[in-house]
Amino acid sequence: MESFSIIAMASIVTAGITMAIGAIGPALGQGRSVSSALSSIAQQPDERNSLTRTLFVGLAMIESIAIYCFVISMILVFANPFWAYVIKKAGG
Q: What is the pLDDT of residues 42-66, one digit of tens each?
A: 999 999 999 999 999 999 999 999 9
Residue 89 has pLDDT above 60, yes or no: yes
pLDDT digits (tens, 9 = 90+) for 10-31: 888 988 998 999 899 999 999 9
Give the residue numbers spanning the domain of 66.
3-91
Burial of 53 (0-12, 13-18, 19+ CB in 10 A): exposed
Rounded to 10 degrees, the C-alpha dihedral 37/54/32/74 comes to: 150
How many domains, the chain? 1
Q: What is the CA radius of gyration of the chain?
A: 21
What does pTM read for this prediction?
0.72
pLDDT for the residue 58: 93
Say if residues 90 and 4 touch (Cβ distance below 8 Å).
Answer: yes
Q: Looking at residue 41, which CATH number applies to its domain?
A: 1.20.20.10
| 3-state class (DSSP) for residue 20 | helix
Between CA 35 and CA 12 the distance in angstroms is 35
